[in-house]
Structure 1
Amino acid sequence: MERVVITGAGLVSPLGNDVSAFWNALLQGKSGISRIDDWDTSGMKTSLAGVVRDFDGDARFGKKEARRMDRFCQFALAAAEDAIRDANLSLEQVNKERMGVYVGSGIGGISTLMEQTEVLRSRGPSRVSPLLVPMMISNMAAAMISIRTGAQGPTLSPVTACSIGNTGIGEAFRLIRAGGADVILAGGAEAAISEISMAGFGNSTSLSGWDGDPARASRPFDAGRDGFVMAEGAGILVLESLSHAQKRGAQIYAEVTGYGATSDAYHIVASHPEGKGAYLAMKLALQEAAIEPENVDVISAHATSTEVGDRSEVAAIKRMFGEAAHRIPVTANKSMIGHMFGAAGGVEAIALVQMIREGKIPPTINQETADPECDLDFVPNEAREKNVRVGISNSFGFGGHNAVIVLEKFEP
């Protein structure tokens, strides 16, 4: 079987639109949460979100091309192009028939749908854009990346809600390992900060109602947490077979060694209270990687800042790691970037790659009041230096989807 390595990464996020800016902000414990300022949030449960700033699709792709893509698709394409550039991957020299794209979106082009619904109501059906459907459907991020790169291998758009990024990375890992592809761009994208989605999440009592400093709103594992903060962006990684990467002299950032995917089979939105599906996904991922639980150096938690979700993840970690659970640092990126839905797994995988490369673990910010049921080492409020050889990243989604990946420091 082929070994699978990571050779490039690109992202768009509330903490910056390149890996370096994003990573430095994480280490400093900065928050990307701010007040929504481009539409009226009156009547909403919250006015806070992890909004991507300083992203100009028109400037990046040209007005004509940008207007043919929803915002989530623009994010995905930008992140993919940056990942390819970061990997120093020459598209002219890649066998396009063995290059794939595994990039999904949980909600797709919801803003385009709402805009065109308004056009329908105010101006009639003849004025609805003929590009509505291709701009709206969630597979278009993967499709556009394939079109722009010429990738003719498997191009899939996994839809596993908030675990999409890890699903894409994990399934890409499996295909490359089995010899079915040389290169796959994998991850996720989302741009769902809209009136309709915020109203829906707010009425489901999922969102934080925090009314103070936006930077303090997302507080995973803290006793004062009251829901997640919506965010947007994209995270894409370049996965390659080791033989392909070595043949072209690529720089190798980390190795993917395990993947576990399960279902809670429990509820459409609530996590299993005992974290059964999460535990099983971690177990399967570590088994595939042939890693003993006590040898894991860091856990990148899903940790959305909901009362039940965070508690169930802690229960799953305790069951999986036993006594070692209290010794392994657990970091929650969403404390700073909010919940990026389908983009979360890809972005958080990039953060884990950086932990392995630099030997530093970002903090979980807003740790102010301890929750007795969330009593692990959450790297509170300040980054920590630690040699990270093995890390796992957890992603869980509505409907009970669970996806866990294992990344390791590359050893030739």
Structure 2
Amino acid sequence: MTSYRQPGLVLTDRHFTVPLDHAEPAGEQLELYGREVVAAGRCGADLPWLVYLEGGPGFGARRFAGKQAWLARAVQEYRVLLLDQRGTGRSTPQNRQNLPLRGGPEEQAAHLAHFRADSIVRDCEAVRRTLTGGAPWTVLGQSFGGFCAMHYLSTAPEGLRTVIITGGLPALDAHADDVYRAAYPRIQRKVEAHYARYPQDVPRARRIVEHLTEHKTVLPGGYTLTPEAFQSLGILLGGGDGSHQLHYLLEDAFVRTGAGHELSDAFQEAVLGTLSFAGHPLYAALHEAIYAQGGKPTDWAAERVRADFPQFDAAAPLNGDGPLLFTGESIHPWHFDVDPALRPLRETAQLLAARTDWTPLYDPARLAANEVPVAAAVYHADMYVDAEHSLRTADTVRGLRTWVTDEYEHDGVRASGTRVLDRLLALARGDA
């Protein structure tokens, strides 16, 4: 193990070995990485463990610099493990470069089927037994990390001391179609609120779509910026300062050249940094699979359901049918055409979208008998996770306490500093 310091903290690199398939413990193994974080001066203290599960899927645990955001509150009483979930960060990452080692698309799809919440939770249990000697620990699940926490409660509650969920209470039985049917109206409201704040962005967005329609635009690195891809910048609107980020991005879109106005290099670089999946390809490959259960394929749910909302057509503003509606947290087949980090995985993604033998993720009967203290922040206007779905789930989990607020967006646990985590810990303990 390697230990090092940041201001006020001591960090230690931890490595663990787990089976690719927990049903075959003697089979192929994966290496997991976790970063242990403890307050300076408390390294030798007997502290309870808290494991953080990042949102996504497909993102490694957040890389903090010192006591940032919720971490400052957590290290007051916990030894924290920032776990890179399998396939992400430093935990045997999966991407276009190494997946071909598995074989063709069928072999790759079969391999990636082991990278959902069910496998992540079994990884956590293996890690917990190694770190705590069998003692239960606290789980903090952000967004998809909260989905994992609900699976944890459904399958291995004996490993849990407390569960804290932020923006990640999933519908227990909703198909991906239901998720996106609820999502598009929420996204539209977010876009309309953005234009109400920045009305000058209406003509700016229309002008960019017009340019992209008339000129094939390939960003540095080979990403093809189509009108539909440009629309997906709306993913920014789910964060607390996302509307402002989008506004500043749009206002610098064009530069005057000898050949007329063109999309500026600065704009293209900024768009690429937002839209590219090079750093998190599993987000695209497995995003709809996080909702898959019950013997039905996801079958590109976001794309199919979008057809029921014609106002999201990228051509609508060019036809005089209102302003451009940005989209949000949705994955479409064309993502695997425009993004060079995803193109080699297109057939693999298609096989995952057609898969029907996904195992159930949640056990309603076990959740109804839950004895683990659970507290969840439900963000009333959350663009990524439907608040009504979350509250219906909260009603089915025995003892779960919710904090419903419109003070924060989906990233509230980070944007609030220590406040969200502090409030939820108090709720879980009955102190609030």
Larger radius of gyration: 2
Does TM-score exceed 0.5, indicating one fold? Answer: no
TM-score (normalizing by structure 2): 0.26
Using CA pairs below 8 Å that are at least 6 residues apart, which structure has the higher relative contact order? 1
User: What is the TM-score with the length of structure 1 in the denominator?
Assistant: 0.27
